[in-house]
């Protein structure tokens, strides 16, 4: 594929500055890269502060009108965890989606206890208080249920965050039980411990399943590239192209341009498995546009 494949794409998982973590680009630089590539839009994620504040200003004052810059809210300790008030304010500011806890989740903290990684924040004087999304029996945190009830009422997009398989399963089930229509399962192949059958079941329930480029081998990523590329093919085959969203999760300081990361990844899928341009277009353009109601 040549770079024309990027025209019309949405990358719904990009880490940009300003941030407490070192990032390869800030939101303004990402907008310029995305415009040059012909992107339709991108979503900036920060683990600690609402990224939607910066993206609205960047798009309005620096954009040329061809590419939309969106932000999201992540329900970590920095914003009060499962904080319905924060969700309400983010909705009023047109957040693209709301994530359940990532770096503040007990699962994330346990998974990274030996690596020292807590979201790339660098030194911190405040210790993360682990947030339990659901117990080992799949009973959701009552505050999590309150958030889902609010989000369902307002037809918002929920991303499942950095829980384990039990927590993600409980989240997806409760979301659809309470009438949510728009759910994105956050990289279930990475840190979550989900099986392909889990992913297929969630897709059949109506969730979209994320494939994030930065964690795959043989795709050009220099950070956390620990997952065999064949897993992406298994996910696509099991869930179907109409339930998969490919994004990058790029922005790490050593990983370079998120746009280049996307281009390298989709080319790796074509080279190794014969994934077609039509299939790539569905997973990077059609599906995100449908899930997020992008205009």
pLDDT at 265: 98
Order of strands, sheet of 41-44, starting from the edge strand that comes earlier in the sequence? 10-14, 41-44, 68-71
How many angstroms separate the CA atoms of 70 and 43, rounded?
5
How many angstroms separate the CA atoms of 90 and 52, rounded?
8
pLDDT category at 53 given cuts 50, 70, 90 is confident
Q: 249 pLDDT exceeds 60?
A: yes
Q: Distances from the Cα of 46 to the Cαs of 133, 155, 215, 241, in angstroms?
A: 19, 22, 18, 27
Q: 222 pLDDT exceeds 60?
A: yes
CATH placement of domain 3-292: 3.20.20.140
What ranges do the domains of the chain cover?
3-292
How many angstroms separate the CA atoms of 227 and 243, rounded?
20
pLDDT at 295: 84
Average pLDDT over residues 88-99: 98
pLDDT at 116: 56
3-state SS assignment for residue 72: coil
3-state SS assignment for residue 223: coil
Q: What percent of the chain has pLDDT over 70?
A: 97
- Dump pLDDT digits (tens) for 96-146: 999 999 999 999 999 887 765 555 555 577 888 999 999 999 999 999 999
Q: 213 pLDDT exceeds 70?
A: yes
CA atoms within 13 A on the CB side of 173: 12
pLDDT at 123: 58
Nearest-CA neighbor of 14 among 210, 219, 237? 210
Average pLDDT over residues 216-228: 93
pLDDT at 171: 99
pLDDT at 272: 98
How many angstroms separate the CA atoms of 41 and 234, rounded?
27
Q: 89 pLDDT exceeds 70?
A: yes
How many angstroms separate the CA atoms of 41 and 31, rounded?
8
pLDDT at 119: 54
How does the average pLDDT of the chain come out, rounded? 95
- Dump pLDDT digits (tens) for 145-191: 999 999 999 999 999 999 999 999 999 999 999 999 999 999 999 99
How many angstroms separate the CA atoms of 256 and 9, rounded?
18
pLDDT category at 247 given cuts 50, 70, 90 is very high
How many angstroms separate the CA atoms of 247 and 256, rounded?
15
pLDDT at 112: 81
How many angstroms separate the CA atoms of 15 and 264, rounded?
18
pLDDT at 118: 55
Q: 38 pLDDT exceeds 70?
A: yes
């Amino acid at each position: 594929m040549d770079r024309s494949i990027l025209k019309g794409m949405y990358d719904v998982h990009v880490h940009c500055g300003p941030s407490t973590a070192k990032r390869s680009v800030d939101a303004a630089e990402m907008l310029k890269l995305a415009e040059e590539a012909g992107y339709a839009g991108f979503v900036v994620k920060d683990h600690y502060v609402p990224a939607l504040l910066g993206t609205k200003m960047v798009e309005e004052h620096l954009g040329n009108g061809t590419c939309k810059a969106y932000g999201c809210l992540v329900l970590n300790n920095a914003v009060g965890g499962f904080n319905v008030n924060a969700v309400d304010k983010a909705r009023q500011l047109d957040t693209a989606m709301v994530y359940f806890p990532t770096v503040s989740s007990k699962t994330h903290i346990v998974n990274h206890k030996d690596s020292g990684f807590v979201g790339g924040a660098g030194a911190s004087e405040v210790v993360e208080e682990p947030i339990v999304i659901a117990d080992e029996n799949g009973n959701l945190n009552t505050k999590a249920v309150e958030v889902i009830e609010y989000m369902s009422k307002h037809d918002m997009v929920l991303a499942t965050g950095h829980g384990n398989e039990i927590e993600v399963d409980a989240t997806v089930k409760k979301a659809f039980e309470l009438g949510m229509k728009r759910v994105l399962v956050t990289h279930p192949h990475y840190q979550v411990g989900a099986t392909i059958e889990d992913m297929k079941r969630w897709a059949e329930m109506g969730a979209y399943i994320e494939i994030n480029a930065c964690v795959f081998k043989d795709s050009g990523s220099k950070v956390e590239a620990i997952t065999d590329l064949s897993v992406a093919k298994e996910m696509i085959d099991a869930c179907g192209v109409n339930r998969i969203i490919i994004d990058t999760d790029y922005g790490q300081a050593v990983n370079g341009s998120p746009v280049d990361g996307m281009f390298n990844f989709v080319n790796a899928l074509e080279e190794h498995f014969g994934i077609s341009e039509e299939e790539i277009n569905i997973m990077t353009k059609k599906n995100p546009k449908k899930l997020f109601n992008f205009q």
